Amino acid sequence: MTQIALTDLTKVFDGNVTALDALDLTIDAGEFFALLGPSGCGKTTLLRTIAGLEQATSGSIHLGDRDVTRVPAGSRDVAMVFQDYALFPHMTVLDNIGYPLKIKGQSKEARGDQSLRVGEQLGLAHLMERRPAALSGGQQQRVALARAVACHPSLFLFDEPLSNLDARLRLEARGFLKRLQRELGVTTVFVTHDQAEALALADRIAVMESGRIRQLGTPREVFRRPANTFVANFIGSTPMNLIDGTVAGGVVEVAGGRLPVPDELAGVLPSDMKVIVGMRPEYVRLSAQPAEGSIAGEVAILEHLGATTLVTVDCAGEAVSATVPEDAEPEPGDRVHLAPQPGRMLLYRHDDGELVEPRTGDSA
């Protein structure tokens, strides 16, 4: 069990592309940690820098109490699973799993036993003599995991471990991965661009954008209270409603209606402050009757999501969406009223897109 501490970590490519911008991050021992972000945000570079495949331009990396910033890749006691699994095509599954042990100088028998044991543990016992090309995607992924597990590292690094699997298999592999990490208790960092994957697997998530961490928190925190409009946009399978509004006393004027200012911000916001109102469609109530603190509009589009339906409502020119149970669908063209669930409406500052927090809410 190893803690990872990154201090002021910076990586600049070719002198001008900043992939990591003075990152500070501590990942606890035994934690399942997700680096989440759109492509090009630096998440894979961060993972590769921890692995030692990239040299940090400045700053430091500590694994446990070791400073590994200048330690070469092979001496950091980490195991990495690559997006394409990087199984060696000329070796059998058994030899692939045993390869890290071979490098460590273990005898053929010892590493054969060890590989077989790990292979059995991961349900690969009947495939040990096959070549990677003769395996399905899911099996290849498990071989790659087995290879990482077999060398007993103090840290696992997974680069998009599930993105090469098809959708159904991905769900299965997700559960498998989480169970495996629980059982082994090894600190694990994984990179993904799929917010659902990060929410499902991770103990904590760092949402990254252009080499910086935009929010760090548990999946629940990141989902419920995105720290800025970037995270708000990125997290959630249906995008959050982000609508321009203006504070007017105890209410926010938005999309032709008036919504009450959230309780924790009551009285601290200056009037005429420009804000962006954030509401997740899941947290918006839709009703046919007008109610206090709601905005009115006309139903424009219905999208079926299975058990729920995403309703897009045209409210004075703004598209606002809400999810409703499948049996409570309105008809397109219906006049409806939308109100956020209590405590689930968020306000972001219009100028920098940061969440207005109670303590900092007095300044705009």
Partner 1 sequence: MRQSRHEAESDMTASIDGERSAAASRTAWRMAGRIGFYTLTCLIAAFFAIPLLWLISAPFDASPTYAVDFPEFTLANFATILANPYALPSLLNSVILAIGTAAFVVIGAALAAYALSRVRIPGRDALLYLLLLLSSVVTGTAAMVPLFLLVSEIGSAIHPMLGIDSHFAVMLVMSSGLLPAAIFMLKDFVDGIPPSYEESARVFGASPFRVLKDIVVPLITPGLATITVWTVVNVWGNFLVPFILLRDADRQPAAVLMRTLYTEAGQPNLALLATFSLLYSLPVVLMYLFVSKRYGFRFHGGIKS
* Contact footprint for partner 1 (CB under 8 A): 51-53, 73-76, 78-80, 82-84, 86, 88-90, 99-100, 103-104, 151, 157
Cβ 158 to partner 1 shortest distance, Å: 12
Task: Output the smallest distance, CB 42 to partner 1, in A.
Answer: 18
Q: Please say which residue, 151 or 277, places its beta carbon nearer to partner 1.
A: 151
Nearer to partner 1, 99 or 230 (CB): 99
Cβ at position 100, least distance to partner 1 in Å: 4
In this structure, are residues 60 and 35 in contact, taking their beta carbons and an 8 Å threshold? no
Helix or strand or coil: residue 289? Answer: coil
The conformation of residue 24, written as its DSSP 8-state character, comes to E
Beta carbon of residue 129, minimum distance to partner 1 (angstroms, whole number): 18
Counting DSSP H helices and E strands in the chain, the numbers are: 8, 20
**Strand, helix or coil for residue 115:** helix
Q: Which is nearer to partner 1, 56 or 151 (CB)?
A: 151
Kindly tell me which of 17 and 291 has the beta carbon lying closer to partner 1: 17
Type of residue found at 266: A
Q: Which two tokens stand for residue 8?
A: 């002021």
Question: At closest approach, how far in Å is the CB of 96 from partner 1?
Answer: 10
Q: Which is nearer to partner 1, 83 or 121 (CB)?
A: 83
Torsion angle of the four alpha carbons 19, 23, 29, 34, in this order, in degrees rounded to the nearest 10: -50
In the complex, least distance from residue 164 CB atom to partner 1, rounded to whole angstroms: 12
Question: Helix crossing, 167-184 with 137-150: angle to 10°?
Answer: 20
- The neighbour count for residue 168, using CB atoms within 10 Å, is 9
Question: Between residues 82 and 176, which has the closer beta carbon with respect to partner 1?
Answer: 82
What are the tokens at 38? Answer: 């759109």
Q: What is the DSSP letter of 166?
A: -
Least distance to partner 1 from the beta carbon of 90, Å? 5
Whole-number Å distance between alpha carbons of 198 and 204: 9
Going from the C-alpha of 111 to that of each of 73, 76, 118, 146, the distances in angstroms are: 22, 21, 10, 13
* Token pair of 218 as six digits: 């548990």
Q: Which is nearer to partner 1, 86 or 171 (CB)?
A: 86
Closest contact distance (angstroms) between CB of 163 and partner 1 is: 14
**Of 130 and 258, which has the nearer Cβ to partner 1?**
130
Q: What does DSSP say about strands 78-81 and 155-159: parallel, antiparallel, or unpaired?
A: parallel
Q: Which is nearer to partner 1, 50 or 315 (CB)?
A: 50
Residue 15 backbone dihedrals phi, psi, to 5 degrees: 80, -10
Closest CA to 330 of 303, 315, 311, 307: 311
Rounded to a whole number of angstroms, the minimum distance from the CB of residue 150 to partner 1 is 10
Q: Any idea of the CA torsion for 94, 96, 100, 105, to the nearest 10 degrees?
A: 60
